[in-house]
Amino acid sequence: MNIQTELKQRFAKALHGLTDDVPNAVEMIRPSQEPKFGDYQANMAMSLGKQRGKPPRDVAAEIVGRLDVSDICETPEIAGPGFINLRLKTDWLAGQLMVAKNDERLGVGLAARAKTYVIDYSSPNVAKPMHVGHIRSTMIGNALARLLRFCGHNVITDNHIGDWGTQFGMIIFGYKHFLDREAYAADPVGELARLYRFVRMLVDYHRDLAEMPKYEQRAVELREKLDALNASLQNETDAAAQKKLRKEESRLNAQVLELLDTIKAVAEKIRAVHDDPATLALAKANPDIGRAVLEETSKLHHGDRENLALWNEFVPVCMEDIERIYRRLNVTFDYTLGESYYNDRLPGLVERLLKQGIARETDGAVGVFLPGQDIPMLIRKQDGAFLYATTDLATIEYRVETFRPDAILYLTDFRQGLHFEQFFATARLMGYTDLELTHVKFGTVLGEDGKPFKTRSGDTVGLESLLDEAERRAYEVVKINDRSSVECGVWSVELDGDNENKSQIPNPKSQPPTPNSKLRETAKRIGIGALVYADLSQNRESDYVFSYDKMLAMNGNTATYLQYAYARVQSIFARGEVDLDALRKSEVPPRLEQPIERTLALDLLKFEEAIELSLRDYRPNVVTSYLFELANRYASFFEQCPVLRAEDATIRDSRLLLCDLVARTMQRGLELLGIETVERM
RNA sequence: GCGCUCGUAGCUCAAUCGGAUAGAGCAACGGAUUUCUAAUCCGUAGGUUACAGGUUCAAGUCCUGUCGGGCGUACCA
């Protein structure tokens, strides 16, 4: 049930003839922020009054007079300048709960028109270890895919992995020159990652050495500019001019500081090489490594047999590594078509765009010049190689041919905004005008120091170790809580089920988790859930600061809180030995007598609204907020309203019904976000 | 330089395309457990929504300017 939609339809009838733009007016119906203003409010009377030169309250009265909502609402009230406040009838709410109860989908309707969505997310680079940043694209994309599917849309998920880039030149070069065969046999991915980092370091070293004099030169220039500025500042008497000069001075100073930071960082990287004689020797032995790496890449792209064979050897191994993380995160893809998949299409695409006049040559390269853009989007380099944009255009062609989508969503870092703007504009020039192309962007993950994680520096928080840590922390809490629950008599047996060792009073830390034990599974769901929720609940386009404690928190607005609400319901059912089948078959509507019961009922019925609102701007955090509020409401209800000990059987059943609906909504909602529930915690 | 973007409580973030008294969580302080899981609940405190103008019945939200942060700016992805 979407109450908002229902009210909109009722208002649309009443507004017919009162305005030219009924759909717009009807958009001004929304949930009230304050209970005293009712459950929903309609705000169109003010603007309509203005349009028609009538007092808004009179317009509101006119609308109310034509409005037929008597079956679902109490008599609407007009308040303030012309707000129409609506309070839903409690009996009607109870009736709607019965509808939801009898529906597998909890009364959530399907989209009016099922559309086909291609969602392009996660997209890690093969052979580069995944880091914290990848969780954003992966989990937001996963949640959107699940939400859209739930609404009845046809969703195709495609992991557009980076499997054709220059990192393979590095790995191939590393493999040919620095391979540790034993390490490769034992842990191929680890060894490839090491080779990548090592070659990268050597390439950077030579580049940095070459760049260093330029930095120094720049520092000298800045110094000279500052001196000149100071001189003119002393001669300047006009206050306004002085202010301007001081501003310029602080700007220059900032540049100096930034430059010093850069120099310091570069110097440290150089020193790291110098400090290790073996590395230094290899660095000196390979002065042209930058060019050599590019050559390896180029050979691969031109079908060199040896390099292609190596590529074919590396990719599956690396993919297995990535898949392991997806399994832990409960993420799957319909397709994994990487950049390499489109390789054959690129030359023809560029030729075609040239012929159509969409692209033209510039400075030996080929680019698309777009109105309002001072720089072109390059699709072929001077050396004939293709770029990111070329692959993206080829991919869109393939997807349209193959899937006939209504929309394609790209989940990437917001820093790629300009690229997508240009890429989408080019796609429109190519004739894809009816296709929704959306860059679902998100902010950068920053380190605790407020600076962005840099993949090149190498020392980012690896995703895998983060998952491990999440599970470990959750395990500590779960273990302690489980034991104390048994001691307090909440449960008769431990989740661990490891009863033989029970006599020796165990120290949670000294006992490693039994593999496959229930406790371990619970810890996994709670730990990973916390991690995923931390990301989804903060889906803003701005950056966010990565913090272990924040990401792995299990108090407050966290997945744990929602899972806890769910587990508490299950606990009631277990304690009361509740016959769920009978409860769900009963056709006796709930009695919503306490204010908290009524509020809880209303919250339950807003599930569809939350999903719809979430998808309007592709923001899973709307769903997390909704679920948090529902869990919060349930916690209050739990405190205020005894269920098993209710005063009589009808109230008991009524409350059990509310509990069941909360649990089902919680489970479904979390599932749509890619988070699992636990029966007991 | 140009372009995009952000600035909300000590911290991390909300605020449903302009709606009524700007809300949560964390941290702080004070309470609640013989009663269905205290991973909880209830309460207190914390704000001139960076600043200055403007638009109107109504501005955190829209416009202009200022200050401050982030990002991007043709052969990376």
From the CA of A555 to the C1' of B27: give the distance in Å. 13
SS3 A388: helix
CB A137 within 8 A of CB A156: no
Q: Cβ of A600 < 7 Å from strand B? A: no
Q: Cβ of A5 < 7 Å from strand B? A: no
Confidence category of residue A220, pLDDT binned at 50, 70, 90: confident
Nucleotides on chain B that have an atom closer than 7 A to a protein CB are: 1-6, 12-17, 19-21, 23-27, 35-42, 56-58, 67-77
From the CA of A120 to the C1' of B33: give the distance in Å. 50
Residue A239 has pLDDT above 90, yes or no: no
Task: Report the distance separating Cα A672 and Cα A144, nearest Å.
Answer: 8
Question: Lowest mean pLDDT: which of A107-111, A365-369, A505-509, A583-587?
Answer: A505-509
* Closest nucleotide over all strands to A564 (CA to C1'): B39
On average, the pLDDT of chain A sits at 89
* Closest nucleotide over all strands to A563 (CA to C1'): B39
Q: Cβ of A362 < 7 Å from strand B? A: yes
Residue A246 has pLDDT above 80, yes or no: no
Strands A40-42 and A407-413: unpaired
Residue A491 has pLDDT above 90, yes or no: no
Q: Cβ of A645 < 7 Å from strand B? A: yes
Question: Lowest mean pLDDT: which of A60-69, A171-180, A242-251, A465-474?
Answer: A242-251
* Closest nucleotide over all strands to A557 (CA to C1'): B25
Q: Supply the DSSP string of A77-108, one letter for each residue.
A: EEETTTEEEE-B-HHHHHHHHHHHHT-TTTTP
pLDDT tens profile A420-478: 999 999 999 999 999 999 999 998 877 666 666 543 334 556 788 889 999 999 999 99
Average pLDDT over residues A310-323: 93
pLDDT of residue A552: 86
State percent of chain A over pLDDT 70. Answer: 93
Instruction: Extract the tokens encoding A51.
Output: 């349009």
From the CA of A549 to the C1' of B27: give the distance in Å. 13
Residue A499 has pLDDT above 50, yes or no: no
Confidence category of residue A507, pLDDT binned at 50, 70, 90: very low
Residue A240 has pLDDT above 90, yes or no: no
Q: Cβ of A620 < 7 Å from strand B? A: no
Residue A307 has pLDDT above 70, yes or no: yes
pLDDT of residue A454: 47
pLDDT of residue A158: 97
Residue A109 has pLDDT above 60, yes or no: yes
pTM reported for the whole predicted model: 0.91
Task: Report the distance separating Cα A48 and Cα A613, nearest Å.
Answer: 25
Average pLDDT over residues A293-317: 92
Q: Cβ of A485 < 7 Å from strand B? A: yes
Kindly provide the ipTM of the predicted complex, given to two decimals.
0.96
